[in-house]
Chain A
Amino acid sequence: MSTTLFDILGPKMVGPSSSHTAGACRLGYVVRSVLGRTPERAAVDLHGSFAMTGEGHGTRKAIVGGLLGFLPDDVLLRESFELARGAGLEVEFHEADLGEEAHPNSARIRVEAGGEKIEVVGCSIGGGRIRVTEIDGFPVNLRGTLPTIVVLADDVPGTVSKITGIIAQRGLNLATIRVDRTGRGERALMTIETDQEVPDDLFHDLHDRSWVHWIRNVHRLNA
Chain B
Amino acid sequence: MFRSMEEWFAVADAAGEDLAAAALRREVKETGAAEADVRARIAEVLGVMRDAVAEGLALADASPSGLTGGRARRLDAEGPELLGGLFTRVLARAIATLEVNARMGLIMATPTAGAAGIVPAVLLTLQEERGWPEDRLVDALLVAGGVGAVIAERASIAGAGGGCQAETGSAAAMSSAAVTWLEGGTPEQVGHAVALTLQGMLGLICDPVAGLVEIPCVYRNATGAVHGIAAAEMALAGLDFPIPVDEVIDVMGEVGRKMDVRYRETALGGLATTPAGQKIAAAAGMERLVQLQRRGRTQGEESARIGPS
Binding site for B on A (CB under 8 A): 2-19, 21-22, 48-49, 51-53, 55-58, 73, 75, 77-78, 95, 104-105, 125-128, 195
Contact = CB atoms under 8 A, between A and B. Distances in A.
Contacts of B284: 56
B163 interface: no
Contact of A15 (B42, B103, B156, B267): B103
A56 B280 CA distance: 12
Given A2-B1, A9-B110, A104-B160, A52 B213 contact: no
A19 B167 CA distance: 11
A18 B114 contact: yes
Contact of A17 (B42, B113, B144, B289): B113
B261 A104 contact: yes
Interface string B148-159: 110011001110
B265 A8 contact: no
Contacts of A2: 1, 3, 30, 149, 153
B104 A14 contact: yes
Given A9-B141, A73-B106, A127-B158, A21 B113 contact: yes
Interface stretch (B88-96, B188-196, B204-212, B219-227): B204-212
Nearest to B27: A5
B109 interface: yes
Contacts of B169: none
Interface string B213-241: 11000000000000000000000000000
B182 interface: no
A4 B24 CA distance: 11
Residue of B106, B285, B292 with most chain A CB atoms under a 10 A cut-off: B106
B251 to A, nearest CB: 19
B295 to A, nearest CB: 12
A2 B212 CA distance: 30
Nearest to A49: B266
B157 A53 contact: no
Contacts of A19: 112, 158, 160, 265
Contacts of B201: none
Contacts of B116: 15
Nearest to B151: A8
Given A18-B112, A56-B212, A126-B161, A12 B106 contact: yes
B63 to A, nearest CB: 9
Interface residues of B, number: 63
Given A5-B38, A5-B149, A12-B106, A53 B1 contact: no
Contacts of B71: none
A10 B109 contact: yes
Contacts of B212: 16, 53, 56-57
A205 B23 CA distance: 40
Contacts of B288: 51-52, 55, 95
Given A9-B45, A10-B110, A127-B158, A55 B145 contact: no
B85 interface: no
A139 to B, nearest CB: 22
A173 to B, nearest CB: 9
Given A16-B113, A18-B114, 9 more contacts: A5-B146, A10-B109, A14-B106, A15-B103, A15-B213, A17-B114, A21-B113, A49-B160, A56-B211
A20 to B, nearest CB: 8
A10 B265 CA distance: 20
B131 interface: no
